[in-house]
Amino acid sequence: MFAPPAREPLPLRYRNAEGQSWDGHGVMPHWLQHAAHAGRSVEHFRFEYVGQL
């Protein structure tokens, strides 16, 4: 009957130089998987969300 209330989007937690981002939930995106397999730390891509993007 009624749609459930829309949830606020989760703040982004990881972002690369090309602007691709991930909120840290669900399956890790391919760009981050490739970086991790190449030896980059996932934490290298972590950023703190402050205000609007």
Which of 4.10.430.10, 3.50.50.60, 3.40.50.1700, 2.30.30.60 would CATH assign to domain 8-53? 4.10.430.10
Separation of alpha carbons 50 and 53, rounded Å:
8
- State the Cα–Cα distance between residues 50 and 36, nearest whole angstrom: 25
pLDDT digits (tens, 9 = 90+) for 1-53: 677 777 777 677 999 999 999 998 899 999 999 999 999 999 999 987 655 55
Which tokens go with 48? 């703190």
Give the global pTM.
0.69
Question: What is the residue extent of each domain of the chain?
Answer: 8-53
pLDDT score of 8: 75
* pLDDT at position 51: 58
One-letter amino acid identity for 11?
A: P
